Amino acid sequence: MAGHSKWKNIQRRKNAQDAKRGKVFMKMAREIFVAAKEGGGDPEMNPSLRLAVDKAKASNMPNENIDRAIKKATGDLDGVSYEEMTYEGYGPGGAAVMVKVLTDNKNRTAAEVRHAFNKNDGNLGENGCVSYMFDRKGYLVIERSAHDVEEDDLMLEVIEAGAEEMETNEETFEIYTEPESFSEVKKKLEQSGYTFETAEISMFPQTYTPLGEKETEKMLNLIDTLEDNDDVQDIYHNLEADEEVLEKLT
């Protein structure tokens, strides 16, 4: 996982821009809707729904919004049908990009995603063209300031809980798991009193693509354009950008 901080810097920028809370809540509601539709409306019996609900609560999404999305999915309220799709392609400079969407009109969404790539010197590819460059992992972040714990002691607890790896920096402990063991690791650490800044299953690049300032600017514009699309849920990429360049551009 070396170099993951590069990914996290982009994620922090993304999170800062996600202050458009109405848009964020809408995307989370869709994720909850699909999880409940596929696996039932009880979070205790549906791990995907439980993860989606936890993610929504961590972003302070109101409980009534969460309940409404579940009720729509289970038939208690009228709702539309969403289809989950993933688009793969290359951004400027050949950076790998994966775009996860939930849409009720795949033709519209495909055209909009393709336009975003083309506008920013990228291009969509075939399914599988970049996904092999990413690993699917569970990801848990514990803030150091929120817990009085020594790194070695937490490492032992993390190993006993079944996690795969832990990285540390001045602000956080970052824990990685296999997707299948994510819920169990999270549950065991919660039982030990830990809370999480981030708790999700995500895609992490195996290697990074370094870009210069102009290509980085175009790549960030591509990410911004995709994030502004209501159908886009998540964007994964392997951009490596110089910290000074990122600060200048953001």
In tens digits, what is the pLDDT along the chain, a chain of 250 residues? 444 555 555 555 555 555 566 778 888 888 898 888 888 999 989 988 998 998 888 888 889 989 988 888 877 666 677 888 999 999 999 999 999 998 889 999 999 999 999 999 999 999 999 999 999 999 999 999 999 899 999 999 999 999 999 999 889 999 999 999 998 999 999 999 999 988 888 999 999 999 989 999 999 999 999 988 989 989 999 998 878 877 787 7
Q: Which has the closest alpha carbon to 161: 180, 138, 186, 144?
A: 186
d(CA 90, CA 97): 6
Strands 198-205 and 134-143, bridge-based pairing: antiparallel
The pLDDT of residue 232:
92
Rounded to the nearest 10 degrees, the angle between the axes of helix 47-58 and helix 63-74 is 150
CB neighbour class for 169 (10 Å; exposed up to 12, middle 13-18, buried from 19) = exposed
Q: With respect to CATH, is domain 4-74 assigned 1.10.260.40? A: no
What per-residue confidence (pLDDT) applies to 2?
43
pLDDT of residue 21: 66
Cα separation, 98 vs 130, in Å, equals 7
Answer yes or no: are the C-beta atoms of 101 and 85 closer than 8 Å: yes
- Degrees (nearest 5) of the Cα angle 27, 30, 34? 145
Predicted pLDDT of residue 161: 95
Give the start-to-end residue ranges of the domains of the chain: 4-74
